[in-house]
Structure 1
């Protein structure tokens, strides 16, 4: 889209006001640039993916080992020939710098006893998970405390944010360099010039079924986050010749869907009723649960690998032309039903952002038909459309494993082996999904968007989940928020430092 003649010109234009966009804007502003943030959501409905998160962020404790760990994760998915050592080292160095940066901004965090998720890979202990703590400054924006803190930083600096302003395309000059942005501002098109650069931080394509059908290996995945993430950055980057990567992968989970709740995405589940992914260390308080496929058979150590469990669901039966594990059925008894909400209420769409509410006792959801219930496993199987004898046998074998204190079939953690022997049984259908996609324009170590020929697209930068460094294997909880901060800083600093004259 070549051209000049702008309605307005600033130094740096940041597209998107999530964690990555906020950090990029703050960094560019602090470097002396005049910054304008364009956010397509309205101020009243501003719910970026960052706001749905729980505030975890990954921190390398050994730079060299963390580089080896991420490199090994690329090799598993066949990307070993595409590894860029400079990019991976930049990721490790900059994510390791996040705690100090947060502290300098007045943020506080705790350090958790959680490390690299994929213990089959070397150096998985080289990263540690931290969590941002709530603060008064963040409380104005209910949801993730990291987002609230970053949002306060933008406000405190007086950085201009235009809500309800959707970028529709990038404006380029004769040499292909990005000069500015086309914007739909409430139905009125404007051309905003950027003297130094444009930062794409608009998220992925969780809310776009067409892009999902094009790139993901299942007909549809269901994401819990902003349904306004519709691939805008991908389309804009493609228009100016960007190379795409990681389009067919995402950090996944088993996700529930509850049609009719006013929210079109998916929702994570709380298997143990602990308010977290893992079980409570006290075995006595962990309710029992199994996951079964469409044939009523268990197929993994529930609930699976945290950010890779969805990979267990993707296989297709080529004879029957179906996905036999979509849906998967979460089977439990009244121990879990009575323990508390079946979905997280500390994050996600049923959390503080309140896309919809979930009752404290699950009764309203049972009455709405979101949860299926029966007095016997045979009856429950009929409600789920699975083989009754197979489901009953699966639960019988599982209960025998509980009695023996070890899961001979799948090696599930002994602390989670609590039998299903209640007076009533329940089921919820589960689907592949997760928090966000990672595909988008490929970036280099300087957060520059890379063109299909290998050279950067001039004056165009990216940060966050749009073209994330993460591929098939998500390294650990909080990897995305860590990347948002790290590459938000890199992109903001690089854009502010550029020296270019843009016609106005």
Structure 2
């Protein structure tokens, strides 16, 4: 045994190997610290959501305007000034930092070329989204960071979940892990950085904090709130635990979902369990929010039905193929593919077919007369070129008129949770009195900066930025 009963000691111990954990380890190593990364998954599935994300980070061309933008995006849920200041300055350094590590950084030509929230004060700071080699997804960012750690001799222990923080006089001095040799106590002279991802794969936490009754996963099944539990056990406060991102999804054969993009045609409408339309179906999904009733609301929060016709069915796959959007656990890790003409999904029973709207209603237990009236009213709006009910874009009004007709159950596809241990601008976790817990840091999805809306490439940028901040600060403590 070593000092204080530790089996071994490092200056900084990082828990989690996604973008935040990798950035923390690289930042601490650059500052001269000895670093260990522990990761609960095996090497084939490690990396959390970073591994299956778009892997892009937004380009911040004006940190001062970025402060205004983040404050605008936070709306009625303000983020502390020191966090805003650190976020604005550090996200502006992401591309330069990655280039210095050897990454081929290039602007994405196709995705997030302008801000989603163009109307908000400060959006002029947004100059697109950088990626590795200018390409989205395909684990490119994760693979680069993995290589950067290996090149520098920074050890990552896979299959080694952290189970408990070790404290001494209120300060965090290490972490207990479970490995092939059983439990081990690892000391961290400078501190422990928690970068364990969100809690979207923890059904109880999803119900308790997000109030989402039914969902499927877009990202890593390892996002079970481990870091949240460990931080809470030593007195951490929590922030914006109800914020998240869901998008329209389809339940597959397991807990993972397919992204329902509906990019190929507009001959569809959405109905709730009463058989009626309830929202502008074509409203832009801005990373978990849509503009509705004059304000931004979380959407979707509950299942509903997609009604479409043969025109839509033959227009192309309802869920993007990997050559279009190589993102998500299904596409990148399990290689589940949506068929190009939607025929496989019909055969599986995911999509149900009928010769009339009345028959379609019977298939899903809806009132036939109500659904027929709903479709007739929608088609009338299409013919008039104006949706007076929900204001759907006239260019996206496509009649549902060509038999056969189809229905597909839509389930919220949960991408990530945003809330976690509250932290300050130095990425230090704070307790319920607002006092920093010595030696404990958090970064990435487990404690994201975003209290309400966010723009494209913001999560990866936040993870890289505060990962570096955490790693540097912990190294300095050592």
The alignment's TM-score, normalised by the length of structure 1, stands at: 0.85
Does residue 91 of the first structure (1) align with residue 87 of the second (2)?
A: yes
Q: Distance in 2 between matches of 1:425 and 1:104?
A: 55
Structure 2 match to 1:320: none
Match of 2:431 in 1: 451
Asked whether the equivalents of residues 237 and 432 of structure 2 are also in contact (C-alpha less than 8 Å), the reply is yes
For 1:287 and 1:310, locate their aligned partners in 2 and report how far apart those are by CA, in whole Å: 18
Work out the CA distance in 1 between the residues paired with 2:348 and 2:133. 34
CA distance in 2, matches of 1:351, 1:266: 10
**Which position in structure 2 is the counterpart of 1:300?**
279
Provide Cα deviations, 1:258-278, integer angstroms capped at 9, x if missing partner: 2xx2x31333212114xxxxx
Distance 1:165 1:51 in 2: 18
Task: Tell me: CA distance 1:336–1:99, structure 2 relative to 1, closer, same or farther (3 Å).
Answer: farther
1:170 aligned to which of 165, 171, 176: 165
Residue aligning to 1:282: none
Residue 467 (structure 2) aligns with = 488
The change in CA–CA distance for 1:310 and 1:208 in structure 2 (over 3 A counts) is: farther
Alpha-carbon distance in structure 1 between the residues aligned to 2:431 and 2:200: 24
RMSD: 2.6
Superposed counterparts of 1:269-284, under 5 Å: 269-273=260-264
Q: Deviations over 1:234-279 (max 9, x none)?
A: 0000111111111112122222212xx2x31333212114xxxxxx
Q: Helix, strand or coil for the counterpart of 1:143? A: coil
Q: 1:401 and 2:381 equivalent? A: yes
Residue 116 of structure 1 deviates from its aligned partner by 3.7
1:40 corresponding residue in structure 2: 40
The match for 1:315 is none
Q: How many aligned residue pairs are there?
A: 463
Does the 8 Å contact 1:115/1:476 carry over to 2? no
* 1:68 maps onto 2:62 in alignment: no
SS at match of 1:356: coil
In the other structure, the counterpart of 1:56 is 56
* Shift in CA distance, 129/376, structure 1 to aligned 2, threshold 3 Å: farther
Query: Relative to 1, partners in 2 of residues 1:441 and 1:330: Cα closer, same or farther, differing over 3 Å?
Result: same
Structure 1 distance, partners of 2:29, 2:97, is: 16
Matches within 5 A, 1:98-497: 98-105=94-101, 106-111=103-108, 112=111, 114-119=113-118, 121-134=120-133, 143-174=138-169, 176-186=170-180, 188-258=182-252, 261=253, 263-273=254-264, 286-306=265-285, 307-309=287-289, 326-344=302-320, 345=322, 346-354=326-334, 356-473=336-453, 475-497=454-476
Which sits farther off after the overlay, 425-434 or 206-215?
Answer: 425-434
Helix, strand or coil for the counterpart of 2:451? coil
The 3 A distance-change label for structure 1 pair 299 and 325 is farther
Distance in 1 (alpha carbons) for counterparts of 2:61 and 2:268: 35
Q: Specify every segment of 5 or more residues in structure 2 that has no aligned partner in the other structure, as ranges.
A: 293-299
| Deviations 1:353-378 (CA, angstroms, capped at 9, x unpaired) | 22533333322222111112222221
Aligned 8 A contact 1:294 1:326 in 2: no
Residue 27 of structure 1: aligned partner: 27
Identify if the C-alpha distance between structure 1 residues 75 and 296 changes in structure 2 by more than 3 Å, giving closer, same or farther: same
SS of structure 2 residue aligned to 1:359: coil
SS in 2 for 1:12: strand
Deviates more, 1:162-171 or 1:192-201: 192-201
Q: Deviations over 1:71-97 (max 9, x none)?
A: 233333xx24xx311211211221122
Cα distance in 2, alignment partners of residues 366 and 389 from structure 1: 25
Q: How far, CA to CA, are the matches of 2:172 and 2:420 in structure 1?
A: 18
Q: Name the CA distance, whole Å, in 1 between partners of 2:408 and 2:56.
A: 27
User: Where does structure 1 lack aligned partners over 5 or more consecutive residues?
Assistant: 274-285, 313-323, 500-504
Between 1:248-257 and 1:29-38, the stretch displaced more is 248-257
TM-score normalized with structure 2 length: 0.90
Task: Give the SS at the match of 1:427.
Answer: strand
Q: For 1:46 and 1:483, how far apart are their aligned partners in 2? A: 19
